[in-house]
């Protein structure tokens, strides 16, 4: 199909990027389980390697199944192009790689997925990169953290684990003033609930492992480019604006215009870092994404019903869901994510650590796992698992204190989920 602006989200999540297979007419996108592609002749091969013609060379760079998913996600996010990767964490490295160099830094929100905090605070230091973590509700502090070596600002719309909502527009304005891109991790919201590019984001990253695939089958990631950033407006992004020695002096921005960042991601990022999504994973994610809006509506309705029930239960101290009128993020959430504030939040349980351990052990439908965004409802007690190595003080600062359980609400019957929580909370209190 040709993607027109007239098509709605429900149509695009099924059709964008896909067409009947030209070789066989297969209606569903085939899994192109191949490493390489035969060149028509040596001129064709040379044109492909010179990026004068777009086509398939080798599946570390491009694959037809993965290409459909890339176009699908780019369309749903309102971007010009996307590059899929082997995981959400791979997508984050791929996203900042073209922007960074030794001594350069990014500014990130303090409210992030735990693995992202470790990646940005520890692992990227090995590349000579660094990250400053700032409370994104304190705009003056964000502005003050920007320096001459800052190359990007990074945050999550609906932040893990507490479901805090970020003021994307206000942070985008600070990024604009600084002449650097704003990168949004849109994993928890998905493009159905929020399209960060419409609020000023330059780049959007996803862990496609979560809601986009939707049923906990494969890991994957994606980097989407809005195509709106002027990489040549200042001298901060030489890999995009200047001759790139890793691609025989090609000037990506001059050559590819709005698609410069996407081409760079494939021709240099995937080529040299090799964090490639495999076609099987792309297939599973394409299957999942077809029902994204249907699932998200149900995730949100269930989350709202369960959060309201929990808020009124006297075994619970607090519920962080931004979809509750009592949440300090309720207004911002309603503006940014009018269809709902997602399905991820935390609860503080009376009785502390011991009660939380009993609760997760007593639950029958909810699974105790380190994952989110599954059709299955999931819980995790961070203090005894992912945040075990931290001091109590550090756990509290991360929103994962000893009395906190994170809930990822699935698409089961909400009354069954409430009944399960009810019986498990009774056991936790005894």
Ligand X SMILES: *Cc1c(COP(=O)(O)O)cnc(C)c1O
Residues near ligand X (CB under 6 A): 87-89, 113, 115-116, 156, 160, 185, 187-188, 207, 209-210, 219, 221, 372
Is 189 or 428 the residue whose CB approaches ligand X more closely? 189
Is 137 or 185 the residue whose CB approaches ligand X more closely? 185
Is 112 or 424 the residue whose CB approaches ligand X more closely? 112
Q: What are phi and psi of 373, to 5 degrees?
A: 75, 35
Cβ 422 to ligand X, closest distance in Å?
Answer: 28
* Contact status, residue 161 vs residue 400, Cβ threshold 8 Å: yes
Which stretches does DSSP call E strand in 78-126?
A: 81-85, 105-109
Closest residue by beta carbon to ligand X: 88
- Number of Cβ atoms within 10 Å of the Cβ of 268: 18
Torsion-angle region of 373 (φ positive above 0: left; ψ -120 to 50: alpha; else: beta): left
Cβ 159 to ligand X, closest distance in Å?
Answer: 8
Is 87 or 262 the residue whose CB approaches ligand X more closely? 87
In order of 21, 49, 340, the CA distances from 44 in angstroms are 22, 9, 49
Is 94 or 428 the residue whose CB approaches ligand X more closely? 94
Cβ 305 to ligand X, closest distance in Å?
Answer: 23
Is 239 or 377 the residue whose CB approaches ligand X more closely? 377
Cα gap 378→201, rounded to integer Å: 30
Q: What is the pairing mode between strands 378-380 and 404-408? A: antiparallel
Tokens of 334: 């309603």
Cβ 316 to ligand X, closest distance in Å?
Answer: 24
Cβ 221 to ligand X, closest distance in Å?
Answer: 6
Cβ 117 to ligand X, closest distance in Å?
Answer: 10
Cα gap 190→207, rounded to integer Å: 10
């Amino acid at each position: 199909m040709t993607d027109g602006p007239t098509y709605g989200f429900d149509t695009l999540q099924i059709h964008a990027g896909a067409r009947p297979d030209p070789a066989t007419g297969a209606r569903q996108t085939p899994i192109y389980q191949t490493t390489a592609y035969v060149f028509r002749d040596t001129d064709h091969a040379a044109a492909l390697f010179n990026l004068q013609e777009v086509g398939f060379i080798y599946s570390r760079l491009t694959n037809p199944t993965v290409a459909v998913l890339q176009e699908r996600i780019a369309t749903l996010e309102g971007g010009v192009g996307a590059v899929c990767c082997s995981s959400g964490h791979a997508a984050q490295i791929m996203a900042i790689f073209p922007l960074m160099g030794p001594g350069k830094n990014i500014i990130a929100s303090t409210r992030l997925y735990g693995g992202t905090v470790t990646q940005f605070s520890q692992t990227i230091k090995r590349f000579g990169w660094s990250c400053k973590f700032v409370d994104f509700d304190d705009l003056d502090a964000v502005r003050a953290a920007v320096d001459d070596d800052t190359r990007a600002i990074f945050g999550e719309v609906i932040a893990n684990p507490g479901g805090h909502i970020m003021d994307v527009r206000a942070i985008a304005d600070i990024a604009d003033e600084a002449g650097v891109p704003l990168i949004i991790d849109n994993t928890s919201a998905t493009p159905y609930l929020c399209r960060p590019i419409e609020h000023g984001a330059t780049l959007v990253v996803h862990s496609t492992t979560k809601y986009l695939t939707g049923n906990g089958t494969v890991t994957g990631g994606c980097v989407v480019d809005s195509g709106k950033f002027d990489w040549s407006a200042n001298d901060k992004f030489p890999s995009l604006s200047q001759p790139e020695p890793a691609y025989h002096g090609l000037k990506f921005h001059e050559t590819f215009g709005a698609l410069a960042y996407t081409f760079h991601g494939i021709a240099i990022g995937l080529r040299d870092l090799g964090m490639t999504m495999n076609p099987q994973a792309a297939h599973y994610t394409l299957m999942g994404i077809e029902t994204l809006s249907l699932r998200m509506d149900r995730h949100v309705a269930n989350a709202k019903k369960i959060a309201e029930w929990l808020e009124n239960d006297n075994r619970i101290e607090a519920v962080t869901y931004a979809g509750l009128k009592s949440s300090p993020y309720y207004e911002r959430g309603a503006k940014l994510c009018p269809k709902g504030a997602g399905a991820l939040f935390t609860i503080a349980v009376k009785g502390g650590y011991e009660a939380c351990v009993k609760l997760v052990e007593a639950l029958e439908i909810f699974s105790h796992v380190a994952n989110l965004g599954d059709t299955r409802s999931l819980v995790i007690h961070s203090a005894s698992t992912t945040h075990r190595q931290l001091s109590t003080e550090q756990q509290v600062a991360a929103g994962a204190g000893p009395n906190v359980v994170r809930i990822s609400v699935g698409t089961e019957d909400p009354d069954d989920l409430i009944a399960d929580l009810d019986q498990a909370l009774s056991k936790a209190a005894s």
